[in-house]
Amino acid sequence: MNALAAQLNEKMQNENPAIYNMLSDLGKNLYYPKGILSQSAEAGKKAHRFNATIGIATENGEPMHFRHIQNKLDYKPNDIYPYAAPQGKEALRSIWKEKLLVDNPSMKGKSIGTPIVTSALTHGLSIAADLFMDAGDVLVTPQQYWGNYNTVFQVRRGGRVETFPLFNEAGGFHVEAFRETIAKQTEKVIVLLNFPNNPTGFTPSVEEAEAIVQVLKDAAEGGLKLVVLLDDAYFGLFYEDSIKESLFGLLADSHMNILPVKIDGATKENYVWGLRVGFITYAADPDTLDALEQKTKGIIRGTISSGSHISQTILLESLQSEEFSQEKEEKFQIMQGRAIKTKQVLADEKYAPHWTYYPFNSGYFMCLKLNSVDAETLRLHLLDQYGVGVIASNKTDIRVAFSCVEENDIQELFDLIYEGCKDLTK
């Protein structure tokens, strides 16, 4: 084992042995090397004559670049072309933490690290899998989950996914099923909660969120070590009857055997999917936070090296803009209007013979539970006969993204799905 990794591990063992024991074998071996980047950073502070360290080209005192690219961009070359640091632009990290504290009142006063920039959400999930999952480790998540979790946690890391019913008979979060599934676990478990949920668009109520936290605290008190990943991809899109903040803040500092990890980003919150800017944030004691940051930087350095500089520059400018809050509220109102319209349309009893729908109150999506038609058969029929695209989540469920359908088209969309169901049940 590298001496730097051993030093980080010793720090974690001294301050929080429970979190050290949550690390995967890979996580224990990770460190941030004192190589080119650290030497270049030191030279950047002291090399006043010549800085011949990092692998970029310069010209006339700024990064070398093509005029035909620069002429189309309204940013300084230094904010576009050089490598960003593996952990991301410091100003962006700081402003995102400020945003988290404003958006999540329960985070205030807790020991929370500075967000580390990732190449969007999937990269953040992948980092967490590398840090904490060994082959055979269990990931607990609701039955309705994003299919890419399988690739990230099972295929890449050899984990095993165990699910529980998301909904109880009353249409709320199934606290008891969650409790029973957690109670079956021994020694260590990774819990992954995604609210607003993809694919259902469900977020629990304040009371349900408190019950979820209590289940985890009870398990931790019993000796179970829990890495709790909060996939907050659709954070902020809370339309009605739900908690309005991340479970991360409620879990931070809750128990020494609980490590909350917040994985979020601008991708879906701020409608900049192609910029690929996300964040991973830990809650732990200061020394453990430092060790986790160094290990996370080591993963980034050993995979993508660093994220897109221009994407981070654009996002930083957006977050600092005077127009940001107003425009975000405008988009929220549009999304909320589509969600409300979807519920109004689905209230029509004519649909009852063909489907029910899972509760939804947030996010981009909702799911139909088909009564008598195979989901994949319906999906293909809708494409071929009506030019309508939906996602078949499994044999019974169809995911509909109201996020990308104009409010005045939602009635027609569901009527066409209805016609497709009728065609297949004649």
Q: Which of 256, 257, 261, 406 is nearest to 338 (CA)?
A: 406
- What pLDDT score does 55 carry? 83
pLDDT of residue 54: 75
pLDDT at 315 over 70: yes
69 confidence band (pLDDT: 50, 70, 90):
very high
CA distances 413 to 250, 402, 406, Å, are 39, 9, 10
Structure tokens at 92: 């962006």
Global pTM reads 0.94
* Residue 11 confidence class, pLDDT cut points 50, 70, 90: very high
Angle in degrees, CA 293, 118, 205, rounded to 5: 90
What confidence score (pLDDT) does residue 252 get?
97
Q: What angle is formed at CA 56 by the lines to CA 51 and CA 58, rounded to 5 degrees?
A: 70
Instruction: List b or e across 89-111, with b for residues whose CB sees 16 or more CB atoms inside 10 angstroms.
Output: beebbebbbebbeebbebbeebe
Specify the pLDDT at position 48. 65
Task: Check whether 118 has a pLDDT greater than 80.
Answer: yes
Q: What is the mean pLDDT of the chain?
A: 95
Mean pLDDT over residues 193-221, rounded? Answer: 98
pLDDT band at 52 (very low <50, low <70, confident <90, very high): confident
Do residues 59 and 82 make contact, with C-beta atoms less than 8 angstroms apart?
Answer: no
CA 359 to CA 205: how far, in whole Å?
A: 12
The answer, yes or no, to whether residue 40 has pLDDT greater than 90, is no
Q: What is the pLDDT of residues 395-409, one digit of tens each?
A: 999 999 999 999 999
Please report how many Cα atoms fall inside a 13 Å half-sphere around the Cα of residue 154, on the Cβ side: 11
Among 225, 315, 198, residue whose Cα is nearest residue 267? 315
Instruction: Give tens-digit pLDDT for 232-273.
Output: 999 999 999 999 999 999 999 999 999 999 999 999 999 999
* 30 class by beta-carbon count within 10 Å (0-12 exposed, 13-18 middle, 19+ buried): buried
Distance from C-alpha of 11 to C-alpha of 17, rounded to nearest angstrom: 9
**pLDDT band, very low/low/confident/very high, at 34 (cuts 50, 70, 90):** confident
C-alpha 370/C-alpha 398 separation (Å) is 7
Give yes or no for residue 294 having a pLDDT over 90: yes
